[in-house]
């Protein structure tokens, strides 16, 4: 299956049908949008760099050792 850059981070239709989607996008008072989801799993790949799996199925990879509030 081929995907484009514009599809990056999007869930496949079959995956979304198989579970409840917990993620939601909220707009802040200043007009910015933020993703709200639940962290399902944290795996430290190298010291201070994490793989973060959200309940919605998205997986984020930290590429630097900067600290983030989750």
Phi/psi class of residue 55: alpha, beta or left (left: φ > 0; alpha: ψ in -120 to 50)?
alpha
Q: What is the pTM of this model?
A: 0.57
Is residue 45 within 8 Å of 61, Cβ to Cβ?
Answer: yes
Ordered by start, the domain boundaries in the chain are 5-61
Tens-place pLDDT, residues 16-68: 554 556 788 889 899 999 888 999 999 999 988 999 999 988 899 998 888 87
């Amino acid at each position: 299956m081929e995907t484009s850059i514009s599809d990056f981070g999007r869930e496949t239709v079959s995956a979304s049908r198989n579970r409840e989607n917990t993620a939601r996008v909220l707009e802040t008072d200043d007009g910015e949008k933020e993703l709200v989801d639940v962290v399902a799993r944290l795996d430290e790949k190298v010291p201070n760099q994490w793989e973060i799996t959200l309940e919605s199925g998205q997986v984020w990879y930290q590429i630097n050792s900067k600290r983030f509030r989750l």
